[in-house]
Structure 1
Amino acid sequence: MKHRFLIGLLFFIAGLQAQDAVHNFGVIQIHNNAEVGFHLDLVNDGSFDQITGLVGFYGNEDPLTVSGAYTPVLHDAEVDVPGGLILQIPIDVHNNVNLVTGDIRTVKSGTAVYSNFMDDAFYIGESSVSKINGYGAVTNKESFVFPVGNEDRLRPLLIESVAVNAMAKCAYFFEDPNDSKTLNQSFQTGKKATDYISVSDKEFWRLESDVPSKVTLTWDMYSDVRSLGEYLSDLKVVGWSKSENQWVNLGNSAVEGGMAYGSVTSEVFLPSDYEILTLGGNDDRLETYDTIELDNYFMTPNGDGTNDMLELEGISQSPNNLLEIFDRYGVLVYSKANYQNDFTGRSNRESVIERGKGLASGIYFYILTMHDLRQKHQGYLYISN
């Protein structure tokens, strides 16, 4: 009887508003397995924070709006509004969000409004037609995949933090960072901490977090990553530094997929130090480097003091360099900027084997890019354990 009363109360309140909206001035509580569906806008000017049931938002091609003075705190939520669910205030969810059809939308020019996944909350059903077009947020989480995107594309970002985030927020922008209309700011792709990186002018993400983290950015056919690098190993995460007012290389600790669809993971950095993040690669000028065949090398990294490290000739002539080692399948197993003859046969790529583990015996291919000399040196390496 209690469930029926609460549901009837909601419709009664909606009737008082001439069917324009459900306007809550009092206390709404939903218990046990009760389900309540909103087919009208919700104006929450009362308490809506003691929920154990399901709250659904359902509509057609017209959007629904959630507004008011107080944040609704939901247990389970469902969004099936083809026209979109527009948030003018934040929404907190403690358990599951079922994304069926229609985006959850927030203003992107500021981060004050968001769809917040609290504690153990999760979601299902994310797709190109059901995602967050605006800011998603998490509370008390170390890792999370933000189901963000724009009007017709899901463009998720994964954050993996070294500790729990009290709160982190993320949004995706399908805009040229050189001229962001939404943020009314220019992040010039030509302003770079090093001349040897390129920066995407197709899109970017905005991420707020005060905890050191790795992030994984995704790309699709519209990202045009072929313009950023010749090989997948060329791709990296770059960020616009707030203190330096320029793009900084945030690294590449893992890369997956192909040139049409894939993802790249950064090294650990502090997101709050950067205004926005995007995909980067190697500058086109690297294609003009002379390619030189180097000697082949033999390693026996067994700790006996002989051939334990990869000592490349002439490395001192170009301290500004990059060493990349690939296995026989073309998979990048080691990458080191400013290499100093300190490779001991252990991988530093988490996507290959456990980071820090020794590579199996066999033949490997290496490329040493020497920026100071504008040369690319390549050869083979044989490891015998």
Structure 2
Amino acid sequence: MIGKLYIPALVFAASLQAQTALYNTGNLRIHEGGQMGFHTDLINDGSFDENLGLVGFYSNGSRTVDGIFPPSFFDVEFYTENGTLLNTTANVANTANFITGDVLTPRSQPTITLNFTDNGDASGASDISKVDGYASITNQQNFIFPVGDSEQLRPLVLNSEGINTLAKAAYFYEDPNSPSTFTAFDTNSKPSRLGDISTTEFWRLEGSVPSTVQLSWNERSNIRALSDDVSEIVVVGFNKLTRQWESLGGPASVGDLMQGVAVSASFVPDNYEALTFGAFAEPRDYLDLENYFVSPNGDGINDFLDIPELALSPNNHMQIYNREGLKVFEQSNYTNEFNGFSNQNNFVVGRDKGLPSGVYFYIVSLDDLGLEFQGFLYLAND
């Protein structure tokens, strides 16, 4: 369905590569409520940046977005079996809905991104549909970058201390000792307090605002090669100045050797060329609490997460993550508030029905006692 369009100079033409494409040299606009589906490639050499409707890219093969000027979409969806290739940056003002097929950007050209502007967000990212390359944000503070490689979604969760004028991220399923688009990040270059550094994968994050990141691992990450104690796993960064890996701090990681979450302390992303997982050479002092069962069905039994030890430290901080590493709950001075619902803006799927049943990780700091704890909880939210 095509809504109200204002197109003073729009022609269909063949590109220099003899590919059929919609070639915009004028002023293309989709008004509120309008919809436009691209069943051909887009070459944007005109104005396509005042949209309020929906743009979709559809193909049993692939689609390409090219041109002199970056198109700016309000809502956009991707349903392309072999992906949508961006040869120019594309902006998203509201929602990018990932259905089937990746959005591909060239890792050798990090200036080309799927860029989420002020209120832009991603929905539906999964192993079969995500950004395979660089995603970026402008004028946003916190964001979940829906990045990965051709096989898996490997998101990076950014929480910044202020608004990012520009921040961008990409995932690389590569050995950082021999990356495809960078000078080598020698995993043997590190201080003695660090043990092994991952040679399986890394992320690239650019940004000038002090931030924390959340990275998650899965079976493919081979965390077992670093340590058999997940509490020793830490986010590490390759420092641009010292040319060595260093710990980026943060609380004890949670999970098991197959899946888990690591959270960093605050750092400036632009000071580091790559981020990945590392292990401490010596054990850290972190304590485990019990694993808990939460079933918020109103029967008065396990309706909320109750950790009796928190009574010893009224000044505490609770964080809960799902198995993909997304923060779903956070509370300072926690007193049994978690009852299966998210209080985070970055987790909106089924918000009114509560979080899906399954295993979650928690990290809690007892600030009065100077202690940190970690553990699992199982949520039965049926």
Q: 1 CA distance for matches of 2:128 and 2:286?
A: 40
Residue 243, structure 1, aligned to residue 241, structure 2: yes
Deviation string, structure 1 residues 155-203 (Cα, Å, up to 9, x no partner):
01101111111110000000000111232x2111101033533200000
Alignment of 1:34-73 (within 5 A): 34-61=34-61, 63-73=62-72
Q: 2 CA distance for matches of 1:154 and 1:2?
A: 32
1:278 corresponds to: 276
Deviation string, structure 1 residues 106-157 (Cα, Å, up to 9, x no partner):
1112311000111111121111010000000011111111110001111011
Deviation string, structure 1 residues 209-263 (Cα, Å, up to 9, x no partner):
1000101111111111111122111000001000000101111325233211121
Q: 1 CA distance for matches of 2:180 and 2:2?
A: 50
Change (3 A) 1:192 1:19: closer
Alignment of 1:88-167 (within 5 A): 88-167=87-166
1:289 corresponds to: none
Q: Is the 8 A contact 1:347 1:358 kept in 2?
A: no
2:257 corresponds to: 259
TM-aligned CA deviation for residue 358 of structure 1:
4.8
2:195 to 170, 194, 197: 197
1:370 corresponds to: none
TM-aligned CA deviation for residue 2 of structure 1:
9.4
Q: 1 CA distance for matches of 2:234 and 2:191?
A: 14
Q: 1 CA distance for matches of 2:2 and 2:229?
A: 62
Deviation string, structure 1 residues 253-312 (Cα, Å, up to 9, x no partner):
2523321112100111111000010011134xx5xxxxxxxxxxxxxxxxxxxxxxxxxx
Q: TM-score, normalised by structure 2?
A: 0.75
Change (3 A) 1:228 1:25: same
Change (3 A) 1:177 1:25: same
- Secondary structure in 2 aligned to 1:222? helix
Alignment of 1:1-385 (within 5 A): 3=3, 13-14=11-12, 20-61=20-61, 63-183=62-182, 185-283=183-281, 323-329=284-290, 351-353=362-364, 356-358=367-369
- Secondary structure in 1 aligned to 2:177? helix
Change (3 A) 1:196 1:32: closer
Change (3 A) 1:72 1:174: same
Q: 1 CA distance for matches of 2:39 and 2:285?
A: 56
Q: 2 CA distance for matches of 1:181 and 1:248?
A: 22
Q: TM-score, normalised by structure 1?
A: 0.74
Q: Is the 8 A contact 1:235 1:252 kept in 2?
A: no
Q: 1 CA distance for matches of 2:172 and 2:14?
A: 40
Q: 2 CA distance for matches of 1:86 and 1:5?
A: 25
More helix by share: 1
Q: 1 CA distance for matches of 2:52 and 2:366?
A: 42
Structure 2 unaligned residues grouped into runs of 5+: 293-311, 320-361, 375-382
Change (3 A) 1:281 1:75: same
TM-aligned CA deviation for residue 352 of structure 1:
3.3
Q: Is the 8 A contact 1:177 1:187 kept in 2?
A: yes
Q: Is the 8 A contact 2:131 2:148 kept in 1?
A: yes
Change (3 A) 1:35 1:260: same
Q: Is the 8 A contact 1:254 1:266 kept in 2?
A: no
Structure 1 unaligned residues grouped into runs of 5+: 287-321, 332-343, 366-385
Q: 1 CA distance for matches of 2:209 and 2:39?
A: 39
Counterpart of 2:202, as a letter, is: F
Change (3 A) 1:179 1:327: closer
Counterpart of 1:74, as a letter, is: F
Could you say what the CA RMSD is over the residues aligned between the two structures, in angstroms?
Answer: 2.8
Q: 2 CA distance for matches of 1:5 and 1:202?
A: 48
Counterpart of 2:250, as a letter, is: N
- Secondary structure in 2 aligned to 1:226? helix
Runs of 4+ in 1 over 4 A off after TM superposition: 4-7, 15-19, 344-351, 357-360
Q: 2 CA distance for matches of 1:241 and 1:5?
A: 49
In our comparison, the structure showing a higher alpha carbon Rg is 1
Q: 1 CA distance for matches of 2:13 and 2:273?
A: 45
Q: 1 CA distance for matches of 2:253 and 2:267?
A: 17
2:353 corresponds to: none
Q: Is the 8 A contact 1:349 1:355 kept in 2?
A: no
Counterpart of 1:279, as a letter, is: F
